[in-house]
Structure 1
C-alpha cells in the first residue's frame, strides 16, 4: 500500500495553540480547544467528564485513541458517540467511516443530544447521594479515637462529578438523539466492493478521504474521525501487518493535521502479540472488559464493565504522565455513562472467613517451616511452645 505522500498529496499542517507568552503576544487557538496547563498542547473534550479527568483535561489534537472491547464490540460505541456529539456541539467537523452503509446510518442516528437547563438537572438527579463536608460530620461529638481523620473530606467515587455542572463540561443524554439538521453535517465514508485492479484499495481510499476532509476544514477548526469496528473482516485486511501499516499511516496523518482519530477494535480478533503492537502504535489505549453477571465479583456488582487505562498520551513530552489509578468501573445509569473509582465492598458475605482461624497449630508449623528454611535450622513442630 502506498501512502498519500507518494502520490503527491501534501498534508495540511495547522498550528497548535499555545499559552499566551509573558510579552502578551496573542497566539492562534483552535476552535473548541484549550491549552493544557501541563504540556501546553491543544486539548479538547472527549465528551465524557470522567475520561477528561483521567486524561488531564481532554484529548490532545493530532493523536489516535484506541478502544479495545473484551470480548466483542459493546461499550466502546458509547464513548465514540459521546466523542462525536462533543465535536458537533463545539463546531468541529465530524466524520464516520464504516464497512457498511447501514452501520454508518445507525451510528449517526444514535449520536446523543446535548442537554441544558432543567433537562440537565433532571438527568443528574439521583446519580449520587449528597456528601458531608467531612467524615466527622456524621457523628455529633466527632471522632475521638481517629481524630486525625476528622477533618478529611469524603471522596466522591464518580469521576468528573465536580465538573459535570460546569458550562465547559456539557452533558449528553443517550436517550435523546441529535436533530436532523446536525445529522446532515456529519461526513461519512463506506467502501464499495470492486474487483477491478485499476481501483485503489479501500484502505488507501479511506486514508485519502481522511486527508481530503482535513484539507476542507478551516485553518482554526479540528476534524474528528470515528472508526467503529475498524478491524472488522469486512474491511478485508490481508494480514495483521497491513493493519499495523494502516495504524501507522493514521498516526502520521493525525500528527500532520488538526485531526483526532478514535477507533475501536475487538479483543477476540487479535493475538496477544498483535494487541501489543497495536498498543505501541496508538497514543492512548483503553480496554473495556465486559463483566458477566454469573461470574461477577461482589466488588463489581454495580458495574457493567471495567474501564482500564493501559496507555495514556505522551506526545512531545520527556516522560509519560503518572497515572495513580489505572482501573475504573463503568456504569450506565439514567442514560449517562459514568466512570467510578473502585472501592472495597462495605460488608463481606457471610461465607467469607479466615481459613487459618480454626487451625492455630497449622499457622505455627507454617511459620516455623519458613523460618527453618531461611535460617537453616530445624522446622518447628505443631506442639505449643512455652516461652
Structure 2
C-alpha cells in the first residue's frame, strides 16, 4: 500500500527541494544556495568555518539574518563577541539590482584587447554559478536596514545569564540550549497545530571563541583532551532539537583556535553541512596576479544532505569567492588566459620569433 507523501506547508521565503522534497530556505546569498543544492534545509545546522580575520564570514552571517527579515521569519540571534543590538543595526538592506553594471574600466578593456587575437576562438569560461531561478535576495552591504524595520521585526536576542558556578561544564552553552528550546516550543514544532506556520532563523556568531570558553568552570588549558568537549556536546543537543521543527541554524566557528584536527572532524560530523573560507587578505596570495579577481578560496568540507543517501554535488568543487558592494559571489575558480607581459616572457617570445637574434620582431600576417 502506497502512503501519500505529506506536502510541505506554504511558508513565505521557503521552497521544496526537487531532490528530496525537503523544505528549504535561502541563505541570503543566491550563489551559495546554488552550490549547496538550492538552499539550507529546514531543521538543519549549517556551519561557516570563519576566515582568519572573520571579515567575510561575518558578511555571510549578516546576509543570512537580512534574508530572514525580508521573508518575515523570526530571528534568534546569539553572540558573546558582539552586542546583538549593534549587530542588528549593521545588517544590509535589500536591493532590487540583480546585476551590477557590466561596463569595464579602461584598463580592463585594454587588457581584453591585448589577448583577444589569441583567444578569440576559445569558448568563454562561465564562472558565475546560477540555477536560472533566483531564490533569495541581494543586499547592499553599504546601506544598513532602516531602523523602523528593525523595530517591527519578530526577534529574540539571547543575552547570557550566569548560572550556578558549581554547575559542571560550560554555563554559556547550557544557557543557550535552554533558551533555544523555549523558543522552539513557542509554535515552531512540526507537531504543533495551526495553519500560520513560520520559520525560526537561529544565528550563532563565533561559537566556541575565547568569549565562550571563558565560562568554563575550569582552566581550559589544564586539559588539552577537553578541547572543544563542551562545544561538541552543545552541537549534539542542538542538532537533536531541530529535526522535527521549522528552524534553521546558521553558525560560524573560528576554527583557528582548535589546534586538534580531531576536534574539527567531530564538529563537522555533528553539523549537516559546512563550508570554509580561506581569505587572501594578509597573505602573499593577496598580490598574486593569478588570483587578482578573487578575495579567497571557497571549500566545502561537508556537503549538505538530509533525508537522502546521495547529497547534491555541485558541478565543480574548485570554487572561489569575492565580495562586491551588492553581492557576495561564489564562482568557479579559473586562471586568466594570459597574465601581464613580463620581461621573462618577452625573452621567451623573442627567442621563438627570431633565430640567432635576441631582439623581438613583429609578426606580419
- Residue 71 of structure 2, aligned match among 85, 90, 101: 90
The question of 1:322 aligning with 2:313 is answered yes
How far apart in 2 are the matches of 1:71 and 1:57?
28
How far apart in 1 are the matches of 2:205 and 2:334?
32
Structure 1 residue 113 displacement after superposition: 1.3
Gaps of at least 5 residues in structure 2 are 106-115, 221-226, 346-365
Count of matched residue positions in the alignment of Structure 1 and Structure 2: 308
1:76 equivalent in structure 2: 57
Structure 1 residue 157 displacement after superposition: 1.6
Residues 1:334 and 1:188: Cα distance change in structure 2 (over 3 Å)? same
Match of 2:69, SS state, is: helix
The question of 1:304 aligning with 2:304 is answered no
Residues 1:232 and 1:54: Cα distance change in structure 2 (over 3 Å)? same
The answer to whether the 8 Å contact 2:8/2:23 transfers is no
1:53 equivalent in structure 2: 34
1:188 equivalent in structure 2: 157
List aligned pairs for 1:109-258, cutoff 5 A: 109-116=89-96, 120=97, 124-126=100-102, 154-160=124-130, 162-163=132-133, 166=134, 168-184=135-151, 185-193=154-162, 196-197=165-166, 201-217=171-187, 220-236=197-213, 237=216, 239-258=227-246
Residues 1:27 and 1:125: Cα distance change in structure 2 (over 3 Å)? same
Match of 1:288, SS state, is: strand
Deviates more, 1:48-57 or 1:22-31: 22-31
Residues 1:74 and 1:223: Cα distance change in structure 2 (over 3 Å)? same
| Structure number with bigger Rg | 1
How far apart in 1 are the matches of 2:93 and 2:130?
19
Gaps of at least 5 residues in structure 1 are 1-20, 130-138, 354-387
How far apart in 2 are the matches of 1:38 and 1:155?
28
TM-score (norm 1): 0.71
Coordinate RMSD, CA, aligned? 3.2
Greater RCO, CA 8 A, separation 6+: 2
TM-score (norm 2): 0.75
Structure 1 residue 285 displacement after superposition: 0.9
List aligned pairs for 1:99-114, cutoff 5 A: 99=80, 102-114=82-94
How far apart in 2 are the matches of 1:320 and 1:23?
24
Residues 1:175 and 1:22: Cα distance change in structure 2 (over 3 Å)? farther
How far apart in 1 are the matches of 2:262 and 2:72?
39
How far apart in 1 are the matches of 2:51 and 2:103?
27
1:136 equivalent in structure 2: none
Structure 1 residue 54 displacement after superposition: 0.5
Structure 1 residue 127 displacement after superposition: 7.9
